[in-house]
């Protein structure tokens, strides 16, 4: 009879841990810490099992005790980044909005500290099972509960704020990654791009009118302001759905 192979796990969070007869030379925490340092320093393209093993002064066998492949390392690294995100407590019912605003800013800040993450979030279908993501979800549901939202609306609010913050921050992180690779300052980049953009909008009257208003003087502050303006629109909408 043909040999039947066991299906591989679809995520590090669904793969049973391998039994170990002795204490391994490396811990999972050490592997993730070094992987995150490599990703932050050199980007997603630099990550490989061999290179990570070299940085850890360990053979591949030590890594494979904890992970099956590079994808699982990325899952673990992303959840570690999520562990940096803090969810403020709402002191009372009226405090939900300020706490949510700070939470969303914390998401953006964490992703911009680790811009490589923009390349992988769309591929992590099981990220919600990570322990830090679980903790985030529980804390945010508590925040909205304190603010007077029922559970169903709290879940909607959780997903909406998360999707907005992640989508906006990953787009910004991708832009900053391209900027870093170009070797230009942001002022130099904008000086080169602005004339082309001004020409491109000429056929579109509404875009042309919006573009004519001109960019804000400080690009980093402008990005932060755009983020908060969009978030304010979401919070206004959620306010109407409070119990």
The DSSP annotation for 87-110 comes to -PPPSSGGGHHHHHHHHHHHHHHH
What is the reported pLDDT for 216? 66
Q: Which long-range contacts (CB under 8 A, 24 or more apart) does 55-64 make?
A: 56/26, 56/30, 56/31, 58/25, 58/26, 62/24, 62/25, 62/26, 63/26, 63/31
Alpha-carbon dihedral angle through residues 141, 143, 144, 146, given to the nearest 10 degrees:
120
Distances in Å between the Cα of 181 and the Cα atoms of 42, 55, 169 are: 11, 24, 18
146 Rama sector, left if φ>0, alpha if ψ -120 to 50, beta otherwise: alpha
Distance CA 32, CA 235 (A): 35
Closest CA to 49 of 41, 38, 40: 38
**What are the pLDDT tens digits along the chain (243 aa)?**
444 444 556 677 676 665 555 555 688 899 999 999 999 999 999 999 989 989 988 876 778 888 888 889 999 999 999 999 999 999 999 999 999 999 999 999 999 999 999 888 877 667 778 899 999 999 999 999 999 999 999 999 999 999 999 999 999 999 998 898 899 998 898 888 888 988 999 999 999 998 887 666 688 899 999 999 999 999 999 999 987
Say if domain 89-239 classifies as CATH 1.10.630.10: no
Residues of the chain with CATH 1.10.357.10: 89-239
pTM value surpassing 0.75: yes
Residues of the chain with CATH 1.10.10.60: 28-81
What is the reported pLDDT for 121? 83
Distance CA 139, CA 86 (A): 9
Distance CA 17, CA 19 (A): 6
Distance CA 209, CA 217 (A): 18
Would you give the distance in Å from CA 179 to the centre of its chain? 19
Residue with tokens 């169903």: 152
Distance CA 215, CA 218 (A): 8
Say if domain 28-81 classifies as CATH 1.10.10.60: yes
């Amino acid at each position: 009879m043909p040999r039947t192979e066991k299906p591989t796990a679809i995520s590090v969070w669904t793969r049973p841990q391998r039994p170990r007869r002795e204490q391994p030379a490396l811990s999972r925490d050490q592997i993730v810490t070094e992987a995150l340092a490599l990703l932050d320093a050199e980007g997603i393209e630099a990550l490989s099992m061999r290179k990570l093993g070299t940085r850890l002064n360990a053979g591949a066998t030590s890594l494979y005790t904890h992970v099956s492949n590079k994808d699982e390392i990325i899952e673990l690294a992303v959840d570690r980044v999520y562990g940096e995100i803090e969810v403020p407590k709402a002191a009372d019912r009226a405090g939900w909005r300020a706490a949510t605003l700070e939470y969303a800013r914390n998401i953006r800040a964490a992703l911009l500290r680790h811009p490589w993450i923009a390349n992988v979030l769309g591929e992590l279908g099981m990220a919600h099972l990570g322990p830090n993501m679980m903790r985030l979800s529980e804390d945010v549901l508590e925040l909205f509960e304190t603010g007077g939202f029922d559970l169903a609306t709290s879940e909607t609010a959780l997903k909406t704020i998360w999707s907005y913050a992640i989508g906006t921050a990953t787009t910004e992180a991708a832009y900053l990654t391209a900027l870093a690779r170009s070797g230009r300052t942001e002022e130099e980049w904008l000086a080169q791009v602005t004339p082309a953009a001004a020409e491109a909008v000429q056929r579109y009257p509404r875009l042309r009118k919006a573009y004519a208003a001109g960019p804000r003087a400080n690009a980093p502050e402008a990005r932060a302001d755009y983020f908060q303006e969009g978030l304010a629109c979401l919070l206004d909408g959620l306010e109407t759905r409070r119990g």
